[in-house]
Structure 1
Amino acid sequence: MSYTTREYTATITATLSQIRSMSTAHGAAYRTLNENLSGPVSQVLFNPVTSAAWGALVGRVLVGKAVPIASAGYFMAELVNYMNSTAKELHKNKILGGRRIIDDELIPFLENGKYTAVEAEFLFLEHNLGSGNSARFIQGPHTGGSPVPPGTYIVKRVQTSSGQWIIL
């Protein structure tokens, strides 16, 4: 089997809870690629309880089509098997950059209590495996330092706690 990768921009709307779940999923994907499924990461992914939680994250946040929870925990393990070391390193950096956007920019923005949701355009990295499973991740530059480089993502509008949307 093989896999294909594509990059594209898409707009998503997410609440703080959903953004936090995306951060968790990006972190798990990064650790899986970084540790090549050795030690604690493989124990987490293949543990029935935590793989169900991972499956819920992948199914709700990352995947365009529903992935059975039983197989979702194995997605990253399957993906790692197709990648050479150069592809793994590149993917790790893009995922880490995406998590940096989420953790350093979006979570603090929504935690201030003024807004309940954000609509933003991101650059996505999507993998489609020969098995039929697919997942997409917000990607960003992993340049170190702060802030996140301009133009990495675009916040289009925010929802206030009263439910009103404000176009930015």
Structure 2
Amino acid sequence: MGQHIFLMNVVALAAASGLGRHMPFPLRKWPVAAAVVQVVLLWSWHAPPVLSQAIGSSTLHMMMQASLFVSALWFWRAVLAISEDQKWLSIGLLLFTSKLFCLLGILLIFAGRDLYQLGAGHGGGATGAMSGLEDQQLAGLLMVVACPLSYLGTGVFIAARWVGVLQRRAPHG
């Protein structure tokens, strides 16, 4: 969980912020589609049978990480590229995606059982100190804490810039 949270919320955001106009054309367009694809991929990969298979297969695990990273890169770049006149859309998409990511995290935290049945020792590393349920709850907690930080921080940044643009455009009188 920590890997794709880091890839989606730190690496992809930093890459999208730094690439600016050098981002390939498709990744700068269609922000609503980018948000929907990102949410669908995240929820699909976290379906219990799918995630259990992905964790058991290095190939599927790499496909999961790569698809989540590319979708996050597309999302962040598209949201950041929205014109100044439509920054409300950026903020709306950040709210939409962050709420659905938090909902998934909350489901992982409060599920009454281990949804993924990965076996003892998977989450606890070499010592096997954590049960599958505890690992799942920790993963959900990471999602609920880490994901909103990047979305909230980006939303505040976008809103501040948008307010500055609106103030500059306002008639002085």
Q: TM-score, normalised by structure 2?
A: 0.32
Task: Pick the structure with greater CA Rg.
Answer: 2
Q: TM-score, normalised by structure 1?
A: 0.33
Q: Which has the higher strand share?
A: 1
Structure with greater contact order relative to length (CA < 8 Å, sep ≥ 6): 1
